[in-house]
Structure formats: C-alpha cells, structure tokens
Amino acid sequence: MREDARSKSCVWSRWSEKNAHRKPDVIVNDAAATATLSNTHTSALKPILVTTIIATVLIALVAVNVAQGQQPQASAPARAPPQQQASSNVVIVPGSASLRRDASRVDQVIYPYESFPVDNSQRPPEELHQTSYVIDNKRFIESYSSRCMASTLLEDPDSVEPNFVVIRERSEVRVNATAPIKLIQATGFEPRQPTHIFVHGFTQSYPDTDWLRKTRALFEMHSLVGKENLIIMDWGVGSQGSYQQVAARSSAMGSFLANFLMKLFELGAERESVHIIGHSLGAHIAGFAGKRIRPRIGRITGLDAAGPCFGKLFSNSPNDRLAPDDAIEVDVYHYDDAFLGLPGQIGQFDVFVNGGSSQPGATDNINSMAQALVTMVFRRNRPLSESHTRSTEVATSQLSLTNCQMIAYECRDWPAFLSGECGYCDASNSQCFDMAFHHQYTNRKPPPLRQYSGSRSGGGGGKQFYIATSPNGLYCLQHFQVVVKFEPSPDLVNLAKKQRWKIQLEITNEQNERSNLTITNQVEPSVFTHLLLSEMQPKRFKSAILQVRQGDNSPIQLRDKPNKPGQPANPSRPYSQPPRVNSVEVNFMSSFEPDQRRRLSSRLCPSGWLEAQNSIEDEQQDLSWLTLSEC
C-alpha cells in the first residue's frame, strides 16, 4: 500500500535518527529540496512560492552537479560490495537527490549504472563482483535523471509507477512494479518457460495501443500463451506529458523493469530466456533495465529506438541509451533515423530497414513533422511519424501466412545493398540476420542467441544489416541477388565504363513468370550485380535471355564460345575479342535455412542465340540476344 506524503516524512525522520552514525556516499543537506520533494502533490501553492521553490531547486541542482563533477572517477570501483551492506535496512544511491521511497523495505545497496564501465569482460571475477549491476532488493531508490532540460527531481516515483500485465490463456493479471514476489507468482508466471516482455513508447498504454493488442492476438493465434510467458509493461501513466519530461523519466522506468525482472529470477526464471522488445522510448527503457542486471539477460530488441533527447546532440554515451552491452544479444531495427529514430549503430546487430531513414508508403512530410513537434511539446496524444510506427507494424505482421521470412544481409551501406552487392550468406548464417520473433513464426524454432563481441565497447563496432520491405500490410518482399559473370578480360573494365553498358535481362521461373531487369552495377571487372525484389511466392528461375547495350541503346556483340589462344583480333572492333558471358547466378536470399536458399537458387549458362527484336544495322543482328538455361 502506498504511503501519503506525511508517512514518508516520518519514515525519513526515523531513518535519520537510526542511521545518523553512517556516512552515506552522497549527502544532501538542502532543506528546501527535501521540503519540495515531500510536498510534490500539493496543488494549492501561491505563484510567488512556486517561483521561489523552483529557483531554490535549480540552485541546489547546480550545486549537486558541481559537487559530483569534482569527485574523482577512480573512487567508484572501490565501493564496498553489496554483501557487506546487507545488514543495513537503508539504501543511499550515489547521486540521489533525496530518499524517495520507504527505506525500511530495502535490504540491498544499488549502485547507479553510470558508475561502472561498459566493458567488464577483462575484469577479474572478484573485482567484477564488487562493481556489479546486480539488484537483489525488494524495492529500490532511483537517482534523479535529467534530459533535454527536463528533470525527475520533483517527481514522486509512486506517481509514475508502471504496471506489468501477465497474459494468461483466457485472462490477464495486472500487478504493480513493486508488487511482492508472492503476488507475482500468483499471476500464473511459469519460470521454466521463455519470457517475452513488450514495452511501449511515448504517449502509449495498454490495452489502448494497437500493436500490443495485435501481439497478444498473435500469441493466442499460435497457442503460445501457456507455453511461453507474455508480459506487457504498461507505463502509460509515466508516458504522458511533454516529451522532454517523459524522456527524462525513461531511466526510472528502466529501474522499475529491472526490479521486476529480479523478482522473476528469484522465482526461478532463467536470465538467458528473457527477451525484452521495446519501441521508441521503450527501447531505451529496456536498455536501462539491462544495464542494472548482471549476469546479463538474454536479448533486447529495440524497435526504432527514440532519437530526440538521445544521441550526439545530447549524450551519445552508452550509459545514456540502449547499448550493445545491455544484454547477451542486442538487436536494433532502424526505420525513421531521419526524424524520430536514433541514427547510427547502437546495438550489436543493427538492421536498417529500407535504409533506415524513411519507409515506403509512409506520408512523412513537413506537415507531419510539424504536427509531431507540437505533439512532443504540448502533450497531444497522436501518432508521431508513420515511418516510426512502421517498426511495430512489421513486428506484428503475420508473416507466416505468406511463407515469407524477413532476412537482412550484412552490407557496407544501403546503395550497395540495393545494387545487389550483398546477397551471400554462408552455412553458419553469419552474414545474414533473421528478423523473426517467435510469435510470428510457428513452423520453425527461433535461432539461438547471437552475440558479436566486436561491439562490446558500445562505440559502433557491431554489424549492420539491410533489408527492403513492401508498403502493403504484410511488408514482405522476396529477395534475389542476380549476378552476371563475364569471361575475364583486361579490356572489360574500361570498355564497360566507356560504353556505359546496360545489361538487359529477362528471367523466367518454373511457372513461366517473367521478370525484366536492367543491370548497370559493375562490382568487379567481370562481374555485374542486381537486387530483384518480388511480392510473389519464391520460385526457382530456370531460363533467361540477355543482351548487352551501350549508352546509345545499341547492342554489343557477344561470343558464345570461350576465347581461343592466338585468335586474331577483329579490326572493326575497339577491343581484341567480343565479350563472353560465363553465367548468370540467381541467389535466393529470403530464408534462414541454407538448404532452402540452395533449393531456390539457380545458375544459368549460355545455350544459344535468339533473334533480336530490334531493327539494328549489324551484320550479326541475329546473334544479339543470348539465351541461357540451367547448367
């Protein structure tokens, strides 16, 4: 049961008398700040009193920040381990502005995540134990957070405490974040089953948020409820208000989530079986929770992590946002980096959907951006950006109905991916990334946890993947990499650039469906690539016809046989021998199973000539189109 302001003040007095002999890590002696915190809910204040309090708090805040900035950084790891403080009933969090919870219910010390390095992989076990993020307490005290010129200093955590909704087969149970373990156990939580926790974003709540209702429906459709734990973090009370204030509140929400997770672990849940999926600010909340838990949880997925008040313009430190070290696997999906998303690489595996800046079919324009800014400042409850919300729509689309798997491929950038340069994935799938969530696919097991050690520092050293989606409701596109290989020749590079080659290719699949392509991307002297996207069901390609044209659209003569040593040059040609096509490879990309990729991929080799359809002045016009069939 929550306490009123008067009872909290009594608790603070009892704590002060009982623990006057202890020397806290940080001492706050500002009486005005303490009085302000204890009277947060007082609504009838005169304007002059409000002005005085705000000025006093600002001065105190500046003084505390200056004092903290003068403390040596090397002193943080030297704090005593939590086990040595277990006898105390009181927690003093370094950096706290005041004691803001019932201290009598706390039995462990919580160190703030800002005090510890991101990379603990090289630290000895005994030292790592002393500087751990582990939370073993029943309740906690959160240090204040400031972001975007907003602060949680004057907020009572009880007023923004989130709820956790545990979904059962035909019902749901809602518990507070600080509920006792026995109450959480009574919700039907099964510690031996995998746990999925969904966290919404700014101005959203459950059950009002559409993508959360769809997620629950997918779990029920696939009969996953009862086999896996589905939990929705409803922080709707805390997600309301100006965006700056809500963004500053995200760290506290992460502490609430970490505290709830620790109770699940006490019930027997495996840390590696926990998967948190957060959208927008919810992605950072998941990160703030992951920072506070060691050993790490299994996986965190960020759906277009929020950009405003995060990133380079504010603080791009891994401590201030979702970061690669927050879980064993951290995968981030970028949809709206140009406006509301956080650009750049922030996870171990970053997937840039359609390049990551904007989405096809989304009406994001100057007008919608202006409306979004009004929403963020004046607390209007409306969708901010169609590209930003597309991340949740893709996550809840029913992909298994179309037998479509959304597989992203590692590539250096978006233009290179669109040109077909990145379509290879080995048998271990290290160059491709499965975007699937378990509630979307039921015909196969989810992949094991993936971890990329190169991104542990949080400085953008992870892998980046790309994928294209359709604007329709399923967002699925079948990807094929088309590779045209010529017989190597020293003249080929300069010749193709000088004549501005365009390869006209018409390929036919097993059901005689044709696709016409124009290929211009030369990745190697004798190799051209192209990315073929299709909304149709994937089928194996069995034949093709090909023609090479110059910039003026005139065809180039090709050879159908390998070059013979000592063959005399043709004086009418600007090169020694006509080019020859070795093969056309069509590699299927939209599957995570290597056998499926091989089955739907094909290699086509020259098999003859087809009479040209265009009237051109060439003595060998009947040889201008090359036919190819499976090798």
Catalytically active residues, by annotation: 280, 304, 388
Kindly state the tokens that stand for 105. Answer: 């219910």
Continuous segment of H or E residues that includes residue 262: helix 243-266
Report strand pairing: 521-524 vs 527-534: antiparallel
Report strand pairing: 502-509 vs 478-486: unpaired
Q: DSSP readout, 516-571?
A: EEEE-EEEETTEEEEEEEESSPP--EEEEEEEEE-TTS-B---BSSPPPTTPPP-T
CA–CA distance, 334 with 342 (Å, rounded to integer): 8
Q: Is the dihedral of CA 452, 454, 455, 460 positive or negative?
A: negative
CA–CA distance, 32 with 28 (Å, rounded to integer): 11
Q: Which residues contact 578 (CB under 8 A, 6 or more apart)?
A: 556, 557, 558, 559, 570
CA–CA distance, 522 with 500 (Å, rounded to integer): 10
CA–CA distance, 125 with 122 (Å, rounded to integer): 9
Q: Which residues contact 326 (CB under 8 A, 6 or more apart)?
A: 286, 287, 289, 290, 291, 296, 300
CB 474 within 8 A of CB 397: yes
Helix axes 47-69, 31-38, angle to 10 degrees: 120
CA–CA distance, 580 with 561 (Å, rounded to integer): 7
3-state DSSP call for residue 27? Answer: coil
The secondary structure of residue 228, as a DSSP letter, is B
The secondary structure of residue 296, as a DSSP letter, is P
List b or e across 428-452, with b for residues whose CB sees 16 or more CB atoms inside 10 angstroms.
ebeebbbbbbbbbbeeeeeeeebbb
3-state DSSP call for residue 438? Answer: coil
* Selection from 524, 553, 543 nearest residue 584 by Cα: 543
Place of tokens 């950072």: 284
Rg (CA), the chain: 30
Cis check: omega of the bond before 571, within 30 degrees of 0: no
* Selection from 527, 538, 460, 523 nearest residue 487 by Cα: 527
